[in-house]
A and B are shown apart, each in its own frame.
Chain A
Amino acid sequence: MPTLRWQPIASFLLCVYGLGASIYLTITHFEPKALACVSNATFNCEKVTQSPQSEIFGIPVAILGLVFFVPMLLLCLPVAWRTADRRIHLARLVMAVTGVGMIIYLIIAELFLIKAICLWCSSVHIATLLLFIIVATASPIVLAPGYGAADEEPADGDQS
């Protein structure tokens, strides 16, 4: 059975980065002048963060990023990776799939609708994609029968 080694810490760090970037992008969504970003014909954060596509159903995408990364951060804590509770691992997988679906939409919006690329947003997209890769490839391990039991057995055993 393969084991998890670097995945928990890598995913946790990606979530920390994603959360930080989402907080920054949320601030700059409401305060565009606070946005520090390259601005030329290809890269233009302001054009992206102030575009009609920067909101979905009236909710700024940056806030949706926060809504994604806060629970994802909790789900990617090392202790959450170790748990035998499959619901945690399934929730992480569902979140990761949702996240990658969202970035595909946002990439389409940037490339074909807004026609500008936001470097800050792209860094969050990369973090989300890496997170998906880690979570998806670790899922067969963490969703396998018996995963995490070894760590929790002693306590259970003592109680029984």
Chain B
Amino acid sequence: MADKKQNPVTGGNKPKPTGNGGESAKDKSRAASRPVAAKGGGGGKGGNTPRPGKGGTPSAGPKGSRTGAYIAWGAVALVIVVIAGLFIFNATKSKTQDATFTAVTPAPVQVVKDVTTIPMSTWDKVGVTSQAPVAKPTVLSGQPPMTVNHKSPAMLYYGAEYCPYCAAERWAMTAALARFGTWSNLQITASSHTDVDPATHTFSFHGVTFDSPYITFKGIEQYTNQPVGGSTGQYTHLQDPTKEEAAILAKYSSSKFNPNASTSGGISFPFVNINNAALISGASYDPQILAGQSWTDISGGLSDPTNPTTQAILATGNYMSAAICQATHGQPGKVCTSSGVQAAAKALGISAS
């Protein structure tokens, strides 16, 4: 071929310096204009033969190279478009999902009544027995009573409205605390629509008031259930603990006190501290049991001790009640001496009276 004629490889070339990535522009230019036939192979078929371009003319090389460049850049563009498309699709999908969340609204009167006036007989019949597994709180000893806003004893809840585990825990907390005081301004909402156990119906403790002559309660909902646009699982910020509360949370959520402490160093939602004597980290029961049930479905069943959902809620509530009774030194007596609370206290190895 034409190239072969014009290029004896043994042309007296001296070894070239190999800086600049291996070759100078001049070297490359020479290499391009020379065939490598005399190299005896050059590493595979085609290496010694000019690429058959259109018509197989000597100018086919540059044309072929240009075509190769187009293909290469086309492939790069395709890959970038695919990857960018994945991110754009994900962002669009998140935004679509972001539009759906359950607004926080005042709790219906009937729901409030049902959850705050559960018959003592129902509490006692359930005791700590539940068809669905219920985890016991972690009992601490030798810790000073909790003081929140100069009041003691106290109970601290730290969670978020989007959190499905918090959603489950709030039913038990609301019911248990109602035995020791009065709720005002209870709100209903649901957990995230996109997280596990989506849209679990529950209360929100943001903005509620709990008045009790026996124990102070502080609920902190750090995040709403409203997703931040375009993100993967972020929610708008709602509330931070005070310095005093943050110190309590930091101390008792550590692995020194909490066997379920987060390995990443943060505090897992929900975290409940009952007077520094009992800790709940994570859900006491599986929120799955609440799936598909409305607020009224759940609250309406709370007087039925055979209802599996009621059993999970009230068994958890009896554990909480026993820990609160320990903090209040058995006050009020009617609650703390009830068989359900006593059964929970016995299971926890604490005195509730």
Contacts and interface: CB of A to CB of B under 8 A. Distances in A.
Contacts of A107: 83, 86-87
Interface string A75-108: 0001101111111101000000000100110011
A30 to B, nearest CB: 15
A136 B86 contact: no
25 contacts: A3-B28, A32-B263, A39-B266, A40-B234, A41-B232, A41-B233, A79-B22, A84-B39, A86-B47, A87-B43, A100-B79, A107-B83, A132-B76, A133-B76, A137-B69, A141-B28, A144-B65, A145-B48, A145-B50, A149-B36, A151-B15, A151-B27, A154-B15, A156-B39, A160-B10
B43 A137 contact: no
Contacts of B265: 39
B142 interface: no
Contacts, number: 191
B264 interface: yes
Interface string A48-87: 0000000000000000000000000000001101111111
B79 A132 contact: yes
- Interface range on chain A: under 10, 10 to 19, 20 to 34, or 35 or more? 35 or more
Contact of B34 (A111, A117, A139, A150): A150
A41 B234 contact: yes
Given A153-B9, A157-B9, A41 B231 contact: yes
Contacts of A115: 232-233
B21 A78 contact: yes
B82 A152 contact: no
B184 interface: no
Contact of B23 (A46, A139, A151): A151
Given A85-B43, A140-B72, A150-B30, A3 B79 contact: no
Contacts of A117: 232
B23 A3 contact: yes
B13 A144 contact: no
B38 interface: yes
Given A1-B28, A146-B31, 18 more contacts: A1-B29, A3-B23, A3-B24, A4-B22, A8-B21, A39-B264, A41-B231, A78-B22, A107-B86, A132-B79, A145-B48, A149-B31, A150-B16, A153-B9, A153-B39, A154-B13, A155-B15, A156-B9
Nearest to A138: B72
A1 to B, nearest CB: 3
Given A8-B22, A84-B36, A136-B75, A150 B31 contact: yes
A146 B232 CA distance: 50
